[in-house]
Structures are given as structure tokens and as C-alpha cells.
Amino acid sequence: MPANELLKTIKQIVKDTVNAGKPATILYGTVNAVSPLSIKIDQKTFIPQSQLQLSRNVTDFQIQMDSADGTKTSVNVYNSLKKDEGVTLLRMPGGQQFLIIDRTGGYSVNGTGVDGSASAINLSAAVLAYKSTVESVAADYGMTAYVPLILAVMMQESGGNGKDPMQSAEGEYNTKYPKVPNGITDPNYSIQCGIQELHKALQIAGCKGPGDQPGISMALQIYNYGPAFYLGRADGKWNGCKTWSQAAAAEYHNATGEGDPLYVPHVLRYYRISNTGTVGANWAKLKAVGDSLLGTPYVLGGNTPHKAMDCSSFVCYVFTHSGVKNMPRCT
């Protein structure tokens, strides 16, 4: 569902809710199955695919990306839900249809390093089952602070499924199994190889810590494309790239036909950086103003702090009065 269609859907839900005089209901669930899709709300409540509508945030879709030569390339974004992911749903008036708005909740793992903190979010139970193994192997390579990143990579690569959960069979550290997709048949060995690959990628990228967004982005693309993305290729198809950007990732893919040009945003769906630099400072300001409004009654159309506010007035007030961004409620 494109963004404009999602907005229209939500507006219609709000209109119908107001007309019906009944409050809309936000629900939180877990993906119980993907084909057909089923969402588990609690031990007794499961919502079947026939009662679900999906926003673009949780579906595969295609985008057009501009290349350096001015041409456009179609890129598939694989964003569909995976088993055990947490989701936020909006129950439509009548109670028989539900809109899945986005991922939320799920399992999470936190970590702190020299350059800020980060957490892995929306992890499946299958990925979380490898947490202790990942922690043990990560410690051997000085990667303890990067455990959330490792788990986020595993979530993107396999969702924790199969015998090669890090999809590291084709990497340089695999010396025991065929160097083909899913060639490794020992999950522990896959994790060892994958962590070494990621460790090398972080070193090449010069990453300062788990909160170093530019360094993390470059390392992730190196993990997917290989060191040649940063260093350049011997065949002359790519001269190297020292600063990650989405445009550079797309150009490399166009030049070589290799890898996933959207690998970084794909992994970052499961990795959240916090408390670093400007981002951390801005978050602290936003939180302080937001906390000061706790207890304010929700009233549709309300715009009086501490007395009556709705969602839009709350968001605009917090951003404006925190000094992060001037955001008038009406534009």
C-alpha cells in the first residue's frame, strides 16, 4: 500500500470512527505464519489473512533509483513480514478488518560501546535462540559491543532459519564447506565465519563503535558486497568508495550486478542507534518536553497543552518547543 493510500485509509478510519462514536483500537501482535499470513494477538486470538490489510511498511515493493549517468534502475525492496516479528495493527470500525501499520515490539537486545549504544529490534525467536552463541563467539573477536548488530545481520540474512544463519558460506573465512549459498551445514560454524566477516568489514570501514552510523553503514555494505566496495576492484568495474551512500550502493550494483543495493536499510530495520552525538541530544530534548505533557487528556482536535491535545498537536508541540524543529500544526 503506497504512502498516500495508507494516509487515505487512516483518514477514512478516523472519519468512520468519529461518525460511529466508537474509539479506534490499536493492537499489538506477532506474526504466527507468513503463508497464509496469520497474526497472533494472544494465546486464543489469531487474525487470518482474509481480515488483514497491509501498509507498504510490511510488504515487498519496487522503487526507481537514479544512477550517476542519469538512467533509472528498478530495485526490489524485500520488506515483507517474517515469522515471529512484532506488528502494530489498527482495528477498523466494525472490528472485522485490521490494518497492519508497521513492525513494532518483538524481541530486542541492547548493547553499549565506545561510540554510543544500540539495540537489535524486532528479532524473531529463531534469531534470539542464537543470542548466547553469538555473545560467546563475539567475545573471542572483541565484538561484544556489536552483538546487536550481529543479530540484526542474522535477522536480515535468514531470520535465524536454516543451517547457515549468517549466510557466510561464500565468505573468505569458510574453509570447511562448499562456497555456495547455504553451503555451510553447521549453524555454529556459520556464526563464527559471519562474525569474522563482519569484524573485518568494521575494521575496513574504520567504524568507531556501535553508535557510529556512517561506519556501521559502510561495514554492512562491505559485508554484503565484499571489501571491493570500499577498496575497489581489480577488474576496473569499481574504483572504491570511502563514504557510504545509497547512491554509491546502487552504482556498485549497477556496475557489477552483485549484491543487494538496499542491504543497509534492510539490516537497519532491525538495528537502532541511540544516545550518540546530535541524535542523542535531540532525543533527550524531545523526551523532556514529551514527558512534561504526560497526563494530558486526548481530545480529537485539541490543541491546548496539559488540558486537551490530539496526536498531531502533541507531536508538533514537542518538536517545536524542544527546539529540534519548528513544526506548525497547520501548514
Q: Which three cell numbers stand for residue 328?
A: 506548525
* Residue 301: partners with Cβ closer than 8 Å, 6 or more residues away: 310
Each residue's pLDDT, cut to its tens digit, for the chain (331 residues) gives 444 555 555 555 555 554 554 545 777 788 889 999 999 887 788 999 999 999 877 888 777 665 556 677 666 677 788 887 778 888 877 778 888 887 764 454 555 444 456 788 888 888 988 998 999 999 999 998 899 999 999 999 999 999 999 999 999 999 999 999 999 999 999 999 999 999 999 999 999 888 888 999 999 999 999 999 999 999 999 999 999 999 999 999 999 999 999 999 999 988 987 654 555 556 667 777 787 777 788 888 888 888 888 888 888 888 888 777 777 766 5
Name the residue among 311, 239, 228, 191 with its Cα closest to residue 68.
Answer: 239
- Distance from C-alpha of 130 to C-alpha of 152, rounded to nearest angstrom: 12
pLDDT for the residue 114? 41
pLDDT for the residue 217? 94
Segment 5-10 long-range contacts (CB within 8 Å, at least 24 positions apart): 6/55, 6/56, 6/101, 9/53, 9/99, 10/90, 10/99
pLDDT for the residue 125? 83
CATH architecture of 107-274: Orthogonal Bundle (1.10)
- Distance from C-alpha of 250 to C-alpha of 65, rounded to nearest angstrom: 7
Q: Is residue 64 packed enough to be buried (19+ CB in 10 Å), middle (13-18) or exposed (0-12)? A: exposed
- Distance from C-alpha of 130 to C-alpha of 148, rounded to nearest angstrom: 12
Under 8 Å between Cβ of 22 and 93? yes
Name the residue among 185, 22, 11 with its Cα closest to residue 94.
Answer: 22
* Residue 300: partners with Cβ closer than 8 Å, 6 or more residues away: 18, 310
Domain ranges across the chain:
3-103, 107-274, 278-322
